[in-house]
Amino acid sequence: MASHCPHCKDRNLHPSRIETDLPALSCDGCGGSLLSLVAYRHWRENQPEQAQHTAESAVLDEVQDTSVALCCPKCRHFMTKFRVSADARNQIDLCVHCDEAWLDRGEWQLLDSLALAGRLTQVFTQPWQNRVRSTEAERRAEQLWSERLGTDYARAQELREWLRGNAQAREILAYVNQVRDEIPR
Ligand SMILES: [Zn+2]
Ligand SMILES: [Zn+2]
């Protein structure tokens, strides 16, 4: 039985290749692909190390991302979304029942450019997702500090970095902290 595209719904998926030796099912309408993680693991095992190559940025202009919930074309369960990295808004949909991932148009190339094509299954783990979230939280906090400190932010950052690598950081802070009482509130 033909599988329907989870995105376009009225289109069938047809056999395709994401890489020369990595088969998938793709949709001509939206350019998305359904990738079996079984096929992916098989492909990964046969990849020489350092086979990562960087996709052309021209291809990355076409990256799309589905924000709506998708139904797995095989079992009709809702797929789960996984953030790829803190640098990309993209989410990859995974059916945890079938072990099938849905890649929107350009998302494979995006993974490749982030050197993640060979580590796709790691993206679906809790530690990975936690890391994406904490990196994002750190960035938001930095953003708030930069707004609060304005033109002094760069200088403060520099000072912090300098203290971070300094064995006497505590002493220096204690010394600097003396000005605290002199600062008007
Ligand atoms: Zn489609
Ligand atoms: Zn499924």
Q: Summarize pLDDT for 86-136 with one digit per residue, the tens.
A: 888 889 999 999 999 999 999 999 999 888 999 999 999 999 999 999 999
The overall average pLDDT reported for the chain is 90
Ligand nearest to the CA of 104: 1
Q: How far is the CA of 99 from the centre of ligand 2 (A)?
A: 7
pLDDT at 1 over 70: no
pLDDT at 57 over 50: no
DSSP type of residue 113:
H
CB-based contacts of 85: which residues, under 8 Å, 6+ apart?
A: 114, 116, 132
Angle at 127 between CA 31 and CA 93, to 5 degrees: 20
- Which residues place a Cβ less than 5 A from the ion ligand 1? 5, 7-8, 27, 29-30
Ligand nearest to the CA of 103: 1
Q: How far is the CA of 54 from the centre of ligand 1 (A)?
A: 26
Q: How confident is the model at residue 50 (pLDDT cuts 50, 70, 90)?
A: low
Distance between CA atoms of residues 63 and 107, nearest Å: 6
Q: Please name the residue ranges forming H helices in the chain.
A: 37-45, 57-60, 107-113, 120-123, 126-149, 153-164, 169-176
User: For position 123, what pLDDT does the model report?
Assistant: 94
Q: How confident is the model at residue 58 (pLDDT cuts 50, 70, 90)?
A: very low
pLDDT tens track for 127-177: 999 999 999 999 999 999 999 999 999 999 999 999 998 999 999 999 999
- Which residues place a Cβ less than 5 A from the ion ligand 2? 72, 74-75, 95, 97-98
* Mean pLDDT across 64-85: 91
